[in-house]
A and B are shown apart, each in its own frame.
Chain A
Amino acid sequence: MRHIISVLMENEPGALSRVVGLFSQRNYNIDSLTVAPTDESSLSRLTLTTEGDDAKIEQITKHLNKLVDVVKLVDLTDGAHIERELMLVKVKASGSQREEVQRLVEIFRGQIVDLTANVFSIQLVGTGDKLDAFVSAQAEGAVIEVARTGVTGVSRGEKVLNL
């Protein structure tokens, strides 16, 4: 099963490489990874998605917790949560195709953020599934570049991950 793990860690040089290194060292996979400083400047928040059964995810979270740079973490998929990913995608479209692409952007509630005579640059935010669906809805060969941020998320309701 896919899990989204959010990690609060010290905003120190080398902290990120410890997390990433742990995954390769112990033969775990990272499917996506996103990291940035938080409102508390001494902390970074890293969110990653990975696949595994319960035993494997338990080992992953235990080993992450053992890293001295890791302050706290949460497996967002343990409870109700909100997940989002941002995608910038370039779609080739000319003539009558342009209207078709615009309609798709509307349906998926995306935004056209740049355009030329032949190419739309589109921004789309949502779950990974939604972004996948948007890409596959395009005409064959129309998608010429995809840049995705990777998943980030928070728990629903009162539950928070902070110091």
Chain B
Amino acid sequence: MNQISGGEMLVRALHDAEVELVFGYPGGAVLHIYDAIFKQDKIEHILVRHEQAATHAADGYARATGKPGVVLVTSGPGATNAITGIATAYMDSIPMIVLSGQVESRLIGTDGFQETDMIGISRPIVKHSFIVRTATDIPIMIAKAFHIATTGRPGPVVIDIPKDTTDPKVEFPYTYPTDTVLRSYAVPGKGHSGQIKKAVEALLGAARPMIYAGGGVIQGEASDALTKLTKLLGFPITNTLMGLGAYPASDNQFLGMLGMHGTYEANMSMHHCDVLLGIGVRFDDRVTNSDTSKFCPEATILHVDIDPASISKTVVADVPIVGCVSLVLEEMIGLVEESKARINTKALGDWWTQIERWRSKDSLGIKPSEDGKVIKPQQVIQSLHKITAGDAFIATDVGQHQMFAAQYYGFDKPRRWINSGGLGTMGFGFPAAMGVQLAYPDAVSVCVTGEGSFQMNLQEFATCMQYDLPVKIICLNNQALGMVKQWQDMQYSGRHSHSTYAESLPDFVRLAESYGHVGIRIEKLDELDEKLSAAFALKDKLVFVDVLVDPEEHVYPMAIKGGAMKDMLLSKSERT
């Protein structure tokens, strides 16, 4: 049998784990691995310009494809720079493998150059982690890491690799394990049939039902099953921020996103429902509002999730169902098909009448500026939707622009909406859009950002130039940290503490140009559609579109702190 080094084993094991792309940045502790990468052509390595961007790019790749993203960084600062991206993936249950270099085994614990305790630092934000002890650990650890990262509730797995274990002078025989069974790790399969029956009974008897579906449906590839069940029942449905695209936004049964910046009709229907079916959701505080005792006061709560610890964590479930969402949904569909006649259609009709009344309030209606020139940020997203036929991959950063994109783009397909929902990581969007573009070179990959978030990872302009990534960046430039400023307007009497910096903003058009890209500035409403179309017409180029938008605009609806889901501000002057 051929003998190979640890570094070569690592690369070969990645190939055996069906990895195509690795996002990384070299450094001392991983030089042996980089040499092994140099000597092969099976795995493509993408050189980013900052390790945080490597993790977000791998994350974007994973969200768009469903396949795990792979990151390779060196020890010390390379590893710590990856932390924000690992935490981002962890919060949103994204499958990711992070290979971090480590100082030589003999130096561990001696405060060696570029040494940091990566296993310790990353411990609370990984699904699991491994430290390689000898080169022969590498194939089995890679196999286990991919198994753990991609099954059950997915998440990031770190493998810490001391430099000596990849030494090119030390060689061993290589075999990739076919069996990764771990006695201490079981993946939930189908749900408990008795519980599913109980849940379906509750759904059939419901007078004011509501379906609340989240990122778990997308991760669990259960969008089709969810759509089928929802259609079969004729019930209203809302998606969480993480779940956008799980159910087609253009369908009439879809009430929009719920929660802090959810639609009036989604939040009102949540509050007043009598049976709530939560699927692949975690009753996050941005959904329930701060006081869970006021959450869905009249509802029997049915909760389906693959993670038992998500059930009854913040809101107690009346019917908990632990299982793979697609299998649970299929079982529910079967039961509903058998007893479709028992759906309470009379009550459901009245419920829809009520919901349509709420919907007619048009809580996402856009009020154009009075002079007709100033661009409202919402109008940019509407225009973007029109120009991309609602079929682009949209990655965002975090803040007002993220909420506007979530509210106004209208996602009809899963895995098109790429955003940091749980951790809320500014700087996520641009590298994530790169990851999407690398996964789907012919697709339209857009980053909707703000001038604040964008500056947190703008060095990736260089990566996009190196690899010809024609990402389209739409910057809703309001010359301020818009969401911070909004809260300061609302809760701190307009004291804009460190949220404005208009005098120090770069010329983004020239900045993009200096990296060899195209920059376009849009300042007036009447040029919005035309210039935005022009940007998308440049199919092979990265285009940075700097759109100057109304700096006074706030995101509405907005939940009122301490209230129930029905308590919302609908505009600067109107509340429920």
Contact = CB atoms under 8 A, between A and B. Distances in A.
A27 interface: no
Contacts of A62: 308-309
Q: Max chain A CB contacts within 10 Å: which of B120, B127, B185?
A: B185
B123 A63 contact: no
Nearest to A10: B184
B183 interface: yes
Given A59-B313, A63-B309, A68 B123 contact: no
A86 to B, nearest CB: 29
Interface in B117-135: 119-120, 123-124, 127-129, 131
B182 interface: yes
Nearest to B311: A62
Nearest to B148: A68
The 7 closest A-B pairs by CB, nearest first: A62-B309, A68-B128, A71-B184, A25-B124, A62-B308, A68-B185, A63-B309
A66 B307 CA distance: 8
Interface in B156-193: 182-185
A69 interface: yes
A158 B42 CA distance: 56
Interface string B305-321: 00111001100100000
Interface stretch (A11-19, A28-36, A131-139, A149-157): A11-19
A70 interface: yes
Interface of B: 119-120, 123-124, 127-129, 131, 148, 182-185, 307-309, 312-313, 316
Q: Which of A25, A55, A68, A70 has the most CB of B within 10 A?
A: A68
A18 B126 CA distance: 10
Interface in A5-57: 9-10, 13-14, 17-18, 21, 25, 55
A70 B184 contact: yes
Contacts of B131: 13-14
B567 to A, nearest CB: 26
Nearest to B322: A62
Contacts of B312: 55, 58-59
Given A14-B131, A55-B312, A59-B309, A68 B184 contact: yes
A47 B119 CA distance: 24
A65 interface: yes
Nearest to A71: B184
A68 B182 contact: yes
Contacts of A17: 120, 123
A13 B316 CA distance: 36
A144 interface: no
Given A55-B316, A63-B309, A68-B182, 17 more contacts: A9-B184, A13-B131, A14-B123, A17-B123, A18-B123, A21-B124, A55-B312, A59-B309, A62-B308, A65-B308, A65-B309, A66-B308, A66-B309, A68-B127, A68-B128, A69-B184, A70-B184
Nearest to A18: B123
A9 B184 CA distance: 8
Contacts of A163: 183
Contacts of A71: 183-184
Nearest to A21: B123
A10 B185 CA distance: 11
Interface residues of A, number: 20
Interface of A: 9-10, 13-14, 17-18, 21, 25, 55, 58-59, 62-63, 65-66, 68-71, 163
A65 to B, nearest CB: 7
Contacts of B313: 59
A21 B185 CA distance: 19
A158 to B, nearest CB: 23
A47 B412 CA distance: 50
A88 B165 CA distance: 45
25 contacts: A13-B131, A14-B119, A14-B129, A14-B131, A17-B123, A21-B123, A21-B124, A25-B124, A55-B312, A58-B312, A59-B313, A62-B308, A62-B309, A63-B309, A65-B308, A65-B309, A66-B307, A66-B309, A68-B128, A68-B148, A68-B182, A68-B184, A68-B185, A69-B128, A70-B184
B315 to A, nearest CB: 11
B125 to A, nearest CB: 9
Contacts of A13: 131
A21 B122 CA distance: 11
Contacts of A66: 307-309
Nearest to B144: A68
A163 B183 CA distance: 9
Contacts of B127: 68
Contacts of B309: 59, 62-63, 65-66
Nearest to A22: B124
Q: Which of B184, B185, B313 has the most CB of A within 10 A?
A: B184
A14 B182 CA distance: 17
Tell me which of B128, B148, B316 has the highest count of chain A C-beta atoms within 10 A of its own C-beta: B128
B211 to A, nearest CB: 25
Nearest to B309: A62
B368 to A, nearest CB: 47
B375 to A, nearest CB: 44
Contacts of B128: 68-69
Contacts of A59: 309, 312-313
Contacts of B308: 62, 65-66
Contacts of A63: 309
A76 B100 CA distance: 39
A142 B516 CA distance: 80
A33 to B, nearest CB: 17
Contacts of B119: 14
Nearest to B160: A14
Residue picked from B183, B185, B309, B313, most chain A C-beta under 10 Å: B309
A31 to B, nearest CB: 21
Point out which of B127, B183, B307 has the most chain A C-beta atoms below 10 A from its C-beta: B183
A70 B128 CA distance: 11
A17 B127 CA distance: 14
Contacts of B120: 17
A5 B92 CA distance: 29
B76 to A, nearest CB: 19
A9 to B, nearest CB: 7
A163 to B, nearest CB: 7
A59 B320 CA distance: 14
B310 to A, nearest CB: 9
